[in-house]
Amino acid sequence: MELHIKSRHHVRSNNAKKILKELEKVFDSSDIAAMLNGKRFELIKTSLYDIILVDSEPLIFILDGEPFLTVKGALEIAPEQRTVVVDAGATRFVVNGADVMRPGIVRADATIEVGDLVIVVEELHGKALAIGRAIVPGDEMVGESGKAVKSVHYVGDALWAVM
């Protein structure tokens, strides 16, 4: 899917603080604000979602009104909440945009609820591969069959390629 940029402008510091507060709630952590506070935020409105550049890096995106980390943001910040860990066999499918299937999941954050945005990470190094929306609760993600996470952004897609 191609990303068409509609507009681009700086984000005021009070709006940047609101975004950081929302991310702190999502990840139950003040580390994000500490890491990103005082940096320059820029908003890019696109045909798919809004992207927040933090010092020119696409670290945050807004999907359905909800700010969340991009894959680059997850790689930089490495939050421990809202993660779904996949085995090596699932990695090549996930980085190509496939939805995450239960048999490939090693473990998942039990606090994940249906509809939550989640970070899909690989088992060996714990690196982010994709961002997706949970189809089942975190405590039901490990299983024999079926989809658990619908992919919305992954390594190498149009959002990854921004900047």
Same domain for 71 and 86? no
Contact status, residue 62 vs residue 50, Cβ threshold 8 Å: yes
Q: Which strands, in side-by-side order, build the sheet including 41-46?
A: 5-10, 41-46, 50-54, 57-63, 66-69
Same domain for 98 and 131? yes
Same domain for 30 and 65? yes
Boundary (domain end) residue, out of 52, 76, 100: 76
Query: How many structural domains are present in the chain?
Result: 2
Same domain for 88 and 143? yes
pLDDT tens digits, residue range 50-109?
999 999 999 999 998 999 999 999 999 999 999 999 999 999 999 999 999 999 999 999
Same domain for 150 and 84? yes
Q: Is residue 66 part of a domain?
A: yes
| CATH code of the domain containing 63 | 3.10.450.120
| CATH code of the domain containing 145 | 2.30.130.10
Q: Is residue 20 part of a domain?
A: yes
Same domain for 91 and 64? no
pLDDT tens digits, residue range 117-150?
999 999 999 999 999 999 999 999 999 999 999 9
Beta strand 100-101 pairing with 41-46: unpaired
Q: Is residue 159 part of a domain?
A: no
Give the structural domain span for 133.
Answer: 78-154
Q: Is residue 163 part of a domain?
A: no
Same domain for 40 and 89? no
- pLDDT for 47 equals 85
Contact status, residue 29 vs residue 20, Cβ threshold 8 Å: no
pTM for the complete prediction?
0.94
